[in-house]
Amino acid sequence: MTVEQLTAPDLAPAEPSVAPAEPTAAQAEATAAPAEPIVDWLDFDFDTRQVHAGEYPDKNTGLRVPPIALSAGYVFDSFDDQVDRFAGRSIDPIYSRQGNPTNSVAEERLASLEGGTVSVAVSSGQAAISSALFTLAQGGDHIVSTASIYGGTRILFGRSFKRFGIDVDYVWDAEDDAEWERAIRPNTKAIYTETIPNPRNDVTDLRRIAAVAAKYHLPLIVDNTVGTPAIIRPFEHGANIVVHSTTKFLTGHGAAVGGAIVDGGNFDWEAAERGGRSFPLITASPRPGLGSMLDRFGTGAYARAVRESVVNDIGPSLSPFNGFLLHQGMETLSLRMERHVDSSLAIAAWLEEQPEVTSVDYTGLPSNPLYELAQRDYAGRTGSVFGVTVRGGIDGAREFVNGLRVFSRMTGIGDTRSMIIHPLSSTHATFAPEINERLGITPGLLRLSIGLESAKDLITDLRAGLDRVQ
């Protein structure tokens, strides 16, 4: 088209566009400024919280990974700041025996994953159990526990707790109301159990036990070491306090010993006192002019009592090195547990078909009498620690174990590496024969902890061990 062919409208100048208004100073600043960092991860999914919960922005160098805070003590801002910290009006740290910034990351992360209010990190799983119960009970008091629990915990209860004047009785049939009635006394201060007992994987009906605990105004303490919050969260089933040996799945690599106590913030301490139970470390004023832990810390009162009245006094504090490994380990918890459980299901099903195997104690198998409970509360995914019994008694067990090359012959669970141990001659060696018989700890029983190796390679290794069983 030539210029001459253009009509007048074609040559008309375009309508002038309206220039955008200049942004105000406030608008320009808001646009230029980065979004504020997230500090509360409550509404995020589990997989996100296991990576981020508890972290804090580093104002000095922008460190992405929360650092290892190697300091025994902390500088007070002023004289009055010191007064406030010691009076409990400030929760800022005083001394690393009570708390440490590195450990605080792990504590907040675990509390978030379990669905609790506050967590306290300590030096081991045994320290977690002891600290949790010493906050509730003293000499002359009494604890009730389900019978199927970790052997080391039974030893702790039967030796050290007894020496400190705290009695422990066991309920063998948690479905029997009469047995609970006989076991619980006026001086009973807690009920203790495990989600997935070690070594036999006989999962616990937490709802049933929580109902018993509520009836008698008792806090329910649950060891969730084998389950982990990636599989089951006891607070959702009525528990009040959760303990962990963080040495195991939470840290995940068998490199650092640690423990933790998580306060569910859901136990009515005042109602318990009205019902005849006494918990002075939580409900009584420690000194004139200072309110009780419950008055000052509300739903985190129990955890604060653990930290101030037990951990601070006795001193089972967690090393910040181990606290660092703990919060790093939790970042991959759900991924590792998925692999642990998938392999365990496959291996347990395979073992059940082998002629040298007389029984497999894995409640994720349809043949197990607790299968329906495992499906209801655990989605059939009952961890990666379970028992297998081979024919030939202790001689068969010896040949089986000695024939393995991938499995490590060692105590411990929850590692990236697969492990095996013979409970009767190790974790349960000091128990009376009648107790072991009742617990199902037989000469041919082995405890397996399935790691992250190829399930195919683990089965090949197990087959080589079984080939030696006569």
Q: What is the pLDDT of residues 101-128, one digit of tens each?
A: 999 999 999 999 999 999 999 999 999 9
Indicate whether 29 pLDDT > 80: no
What residues are paired with 445 via a beta bridge? 389
- Cβ-contact 193, 222 below 8 angstroms: yes
Q: Residue 67's CB: how many other CB atoms inside 10 A? A: 15
pLDDT confidence band for 20 (50 / 70 / 90): low
| pLDDT higher than 60, residue 2 | no
**Distance between CA atoms of 106 and 120, rounded to whole angstroms?**
9
Statement: residue 15 has pLDDT above 60: no
What are the angstrom distances between the C-alpha of 410 and each of 100, 212, 377, 417? 32, 37, 30, 11
Residue written as token pair 């799945």: 249
Q: In 79-118, which residue ranges form alpha helices assigned H by DSSP?
A: 79-87, 101-114
CB within 8 Å of 199: residues ≥ 6 apart: 151, 361, 385, 386, 387, 423, 427, 441, 445, 447
Is the pLDDT score of 309 beyond 60? yes
- Residues 355-371: tens digit of each pLDDT: 999 999 999 999 999 99
Q: In 3-state terms, what secondary structure has residue 308?
A: helix
User: Model confidence over 69-96: pLDDT tens digits?
Assistant: 999 999 999 999 999 988 878 888 899 9
Distance CA 384, CA 226 (A): 8
Closest Cα partner for 167 from 157, 178, 154? Answer: 157
Highest mean pLDDT among 1-5, 6-10, 269-273: 269-273
Residue 65: strand, helix, or coil: coil
Distances, alpha carbon 12 to alpha carbons 5, 19, 338, in Å: 14, 20, 70
DSSP, collapsed to helix, strand or coil, labels residue 123 as: coil
For residue range 30-82, what is the model confidence (pLDDT) as tens digits?
567 888 888 889 999 999 999 999 998 888 888 888 889 999 999 999 999 99
Return d(Cα 247, Cα 220) in angstroms, integer.
Answer: 23
Residue 11 has pLDDT above 90, yes or no: no
The mean-pLDDT minimum among 34-48, 142-156, 164-178, 200-214 falls in 34-48
pLDDT, one tens digit per residue, over 382-439 is: 999 999 999 999 999 999 999 999 999 999 999 999 999 999 999 999 999 999 999 9
Residues 281 and 135 sit within 8 Å (Cβ to Cβ)? yes
**Cβ atoms of residues 102 and 323 within 8 Å:** yes
| 180, 155 Cβ separation under 8 angstroms | no
- The token pair that represents 450 in the structure block: 């399935």
Q: How confident is the model at residue 27 (pLDDT cuts 50, 70, 90)?
A: low
Pairing state between β 385-390 and 445-449: antiparallel
Distance CA 394, CA 142 (A): 37
Residue 271 has pLDDT above 90, yes or no: yes
Inform me whether the pLDDT recorded for 16 exceeds 70. no
**pTM of the predicted protein model:** 0.91
Task: State the pLDDT at residue 469.
Answer: 97
Whole-number Å distance between alpha carbons of 95 and 311: 12
Cβ atoms of 194 and 76 closer than 8 Å? no
State how far the Cα of 346 lies from the Cα of 459, in Å rounded to an integer.
9
Q: 5: pLDDT confidence band, cut at 50, 70 and 90?
A: very low
- The pLDDT mean for the chain works out to 93
Burial of 68 per CB tally in 10 Å (0-12, 13-18, 19+)? middle
Closest alpha carbon to 212 in 239, 186, 252: 239
pLDDT exceeds cutoff 90 at 209: yes
What was the pLDDT predicted at 28? 60
134-172 per-residue burial string, b: 16 or more CB within 10 A, e: under 16? bbbbeeebbbbbbbbbbbbbbbbbeeebeeeebbbbbbe
DSSP state for residue 240 in the 8-state scheme: S
Q: Which domains does the chain have, with CATH numbers?
A: 52-330 (3.40.640.10), 333-466 (3.90.1150.10)
What would the two tokens of residue 71 be? 């300091």
**At which residue do the structure tokens 């104690």 appear?**
361
pLDDT band at 10 (very low <50, low <70, confident <90, very high): very low
